[in-house]
Amino acid sequence: MTNDADRLATPVIAGNWKMNHGPAAAAAFMRALADAHPPRFDRTVILFPPAISLPALARARAGRSDIALGVQNVHWQADGAFTGETAAPMAVEAGAGFAIVGHSERRHIFGERDDEVGRRAAAALEAGLRPIICIGETLDERRAGRLEAVLERQLAAALDAIAHRDADFLIAYEPVWAIGTGVNATPDDAANAHAYVRRLLDARAGRTAGVPILYGGSVKPDNAADLLGAPGVDGVLVGGASLDPRSFAAIANARARED
């Protein structure tokens, strides 16, 4: 079980760059972010660059212990003939502390199965990375009333794979229909989905208490405060808006809006 000293400060503000920003651009981003976002330790800020840019970003981050780094995916094997994959121990060596697993683009574009997502999460934990396990429904699944069934299936597969490991992970609820579309779930949508995920986690009480649940899907500076203020939302997983340092700094400094 995660020690209290290891618990993440919330909200968690995570920026997923996807296939953007090579090494030079990543270093320039970090310099600009450092100017726009003074150090603060009342929240957790994580950047997920392409793996090839991680070392450059780690060097540029020098002196900013308040900004953590991660990779966008890891393989379940520590080494081997897996062209194009990143091993979790290699990610740690390069400076990562976190790993995204099961992102909707990995599931729906690259065909990753629920059990593979679980194996990746287990490998991340084994190597000392904190995985952010992504779950979420498509628009067709939502319209068919299958939101809860999809979330339960995806989450159960991941939790079953890491059942023998410490509960040092995060969950990101990302409705597929709201990713990169400019259409975001309302704070109520996010709150309702997060409440259901929390109930699923509570059903495994003892291992999953306190696991942060993030919302991901068209998060921007103008909606971040509302989303962070929604009940049960412990942070945000930011896509396109994380590519500009000023935009990401605005989200990283957002205060949860309360009614």
pLDDT (0 to 100) of residue 209:
75
**Structure token digits, residue 80:** 């081997």
pLDDT (0 to 100) of residue 207:
67
More confident residue, 255 or 115: 115
Known catalytic residues are 103, 174
Does pLDDT of 1 surpass 60?
Answer: no
CATH number of 4-252: 3.20.20.70
Does pLDDT of 183 surpass 80?
Answer: no
With b for 16 or more beta-carbon neighbours within 10 A and e for fewer, the 87-125 pattern comes to bbbbbbebbbebbbbbbbbbbeeeebebebbbbbbbbbb
Tell which residue, 131, 173, 132, 176, has the closest CA to residue 151. Answer: 173
Does pLDDT of 176 surpass 80?
Answer: yes
The confidence band for 210, taking pLDDT boundaries of 50, 70 and 90, is confident
Tell which residue, 78, 152, 176, 150, has the closest CA to residue 120. Answer: 78
Contact 205, 193 (CB under 8 A): no
The confidence band for 157, taking pLDDT boundaries of 50, 70 and 90, is very high
Dump pLDDT digits (tens) for 22-43: 999 999 999 999 999 999 999 9
Phi-psi region of 138 (alpha: psi -120 to 50; beta: other; left: phi over 0): beta
Q: What percent of the chain has pLDDT over 90?
A: 82
Average pLDDT, the chain: 92
Does pLDDT of 220 surpass 60?
Answer: yes
The confidence band for 7, taking pLDDT boundaries of 50, 70 and 90, is confident
Contact 148, 111 (CB under 8 A): no
pLDDT (0 to 100) of residue 135:
98
pLDDT (0 to 100) of residue 258:
63
Does pLDDT of 259 surpass 90?
Answer: no
Q: What percent of the chain has pLDDT over 70?
A: 92
pLDDT (0 to 100) of residue 5:
41
Dump pLDDT digits (tens) for 116-127: 999 999 999 999
pLDDT (0 to 100) of residue 6:
64
Give the burial class of 141: count Cβ atoms within 10 A of its Cβ; 0-12 exposed, 13-18 middle, 19 or more buried.
middle
Dump pLDDT digits (tens) for 48-79: 999 999 999 999 999 999 999 999 999 999 99
Distance in angstroms (rounded) separating the CA atoms of residues 18 and 220: 16
207 DSSP assignment: T
Dump pLDDT digits (tens) for 73-115: 999 999 999 999 999 999 999 999 999 999 999 999 999 999 9
Averaged pLDDT for residues 131-141: 94
141's enclosing H/E stretch is helix 139-143
pLDDT (0 to 100) of residue 3:
40
